[in-house]
Amino acid sequence: MSGHLESKSNSDTSPPASLFRRRGLWLAATMVAVYMALVPLHTQDGANHRQVAVLLERLISADVQDPVYQSNLGLLRTNVLFSGGYALAAAKIGIPIHLYERLFVSGFLILLLVGYRRFLAEWTPGRTDLWVWILPITMHALFVTGMYNFLAATALTLPLLTYLKRLAEHPSAKTLAAMSALAWLAFLAHPFPFFVLPAAWLWLVTGRTERPGAFMWSGGGVLVGLLFLGFALPMVASAVPQNPYVFKPPLELLAGLVYYNFPLFSSWAVVAAVPVLVCAIAMAWMSLQNADLRNPYRRGMLLWLGMLLAYFLFPSEGHGGAHLNERFLPFVWIFLPLGLAGVGEGSVSSRRWIRGTAVASTILMAAALWAGLGRVDREVRDAAAVLAELPDEARLYPLEFDPGGNSLAQGPLLHLWANHATDRTVHSPFSFTFMDLMSVSRRLPSSDTYFPAAPENHAQVLAEGRFCRPRDPVSTSSCSLQEQDAWDELLSAAHYYDHWFVHGAPQRWRQAISEVPGLTLVAEVGRASVWRYDRSREFSPKLLRRRSAR
């Protein structure tokens, strides 16, 4: 049935559309691989993930137990695919961490392309030429900011959805086993898709007249079970949330449909994204016009509409997680073409327009992204040069005054400090080891005397003057007093670290840093500098050093 419908559509489309079939798919996959090999790959979270992966490999290979860090690898642990893949496989065969990072990212981006075409062939036969609709998502803001595990999980969700559809239509033990194995692999990467997959399961079940059989119920049980392991169990296990839930106001969420979706390094990048955004709105409108809840082939809008609603209703952060609601946006994009199923063959011209818009916007956005990451690359090189002066076992406190750099919406320099050499251990409060949801965590929790830290954006807020409230008519406190309190809070944590990394400090705060007693400038390149603090306090409990294996 699927093959018949697809071949019919092939005969109805114009000859150039053949470019958007298999040949075009592999051409795009090759272009992605080349792009990822050449573009300066510096991201917000990527450097931090690299350091954790290297640390994990060190923990696994060590003959003695590390006194500070512990490995959390396990068959039912999530957020471990990137670091675990490096520590257990890539490092063993001598692949450097930076090369592994590129292979990981480009590999899952290619899976995103290939998996999306197969997903469309299964879920909306005859519309496989719309696989190019996924091209702009290869540069989604969450992927570009270095959320590698989420990228892998999103890419793995597409073959998972394909197997789920097959399980509904042709249930078998083989299909259930394949789906379960893929679900486990996606879970190792990130738990978020298990908010999406049960919704897709429900959509399939409610759209069929016959009741689901044992295989379909078992598949649903696997998905719900992994959702429980990924979210419910950690929430129950943690007595006190690590941070409260934060809900963004509606207008900010509306604007976020642009800046949460696309990496905006310049006004050029905004202009490049406009055509595909207009196209998405048009597709949503066509989908709603085409909707018929009584027709199982014309209910596709329920999926993308559900993802969009979840984006507006879910918190943006909380309980140790961040960018929670934003993670629904790639799936809004993925499900949009399903709403076009059942549209008459007069839609060929519309699909041609969708394809052309997606390709054109992707090319323009890729060029803008390359230019933006090139400017980030210069900042990273400066930071790496000064961070090379850090000794092994340094306690490093980052003061990041300008995490946004040249970006209009994201913070590509937020973890700039993590671009230190990978052949030494650097202890920082902002390492992705501060909670046990990651593949590596500290053995002891943070406290006011053990890995203390002000909020990660504290220096940025200080530089932007946001600790004062000059527009508040009822505020009578002195602005200078508020800023002094904020500065003291920053220093009270920094006093526990023997090295400070400073980036993007305005002249006023650069001068204040230079006047701290006991602080000596070690190296400075561009806007980045490393300082040695000779009066640092010891952690309590004392930070134990690694013992050498005999």
pLDDT value at residue 30:
85
Instruction: Give me the residue label for tokens 């140790």.
Output: 320
Write out the H or E segment, with its range, that includes residue 482.
helix 479-494
pLDDT value at residue 344:
54
Residues in the chain: 550
pLDDT value at residue 21:
61
pLDDT value at residue 5:
35
- Looking at per-residue pLDDT, the higher value among 2 and 78 belongs to 78
- Mean pLDDT score, 193-215: 93
For the chain, state the CA radius of gyration: 25
pLDDT value at residue 547:
54
Residue 540 banded pLDDT, cuts 50, 70, 90: very high
pLDDT value at residue 355:
92
pTM for the full predicted model: 0.91
What mean pLDDT, rounded, does the chain reach? 88
N-term to C-term CA, the chain: 66
- Looking at per-residue pLDDT, the higher value among 481 and 160 belongs to 160
Q: Residue 289: CB partners within 8 Å, gap ≥ 6?
A: none
Residue 17 banded pLDDT, cuts 50, 70, 90: very low
Give the pLDDT confidence of 263-318 residue by residue, as tens digits: 988 888 999 999 999 999 999 998 898 888 777 777 889 999 999 999 999 998 87
Q: Does the pLDDT at position 20 exceed 70?
A: no
Candidates 44, 23, 3, 48; CA nearest to 420 is 48
Give the pLDDT confidence of 364-414 residue by residue, as tens digits: 999 999 999 999 999 999 999 999 999 999 999 999 999 999 898 889 999
Query: What is the sign of the dihedral through the CA atoms of 432, 438, 444 and 448?
Result: positive
- Looking at per-residue pLDDT, the higher value among 3 and 430 belongs to 430
pLDDT value at residue 32:
86
Q: Residue 521: beta bridge partners? A: 531
pLDDT value at residue 469:
59
CB 381, CB 416: distance < 8 Å: no
pLDDT value at residue 290:
83
pLDDT value at residue 532:
98
Give the CA count within 13 Å in the CB-facing half-sphere of 443.
Answer: 11
pLDDT value at residue 239:
42
- State how far the Cα of 24 lies from the Cα of 22, in Å rounded to an integer: 5
Residue 478 banded pLDDT, cuts 50, 70, 90: low
Give the pLDDT confidence of 30-75 residue by residue, as tens digits: 888 888 888 888 778 999 999 999 999 999 999 899 999 999 999 9
- Mean pLDDT score, 220-224: 97
pLDDT value at residue 9:
40
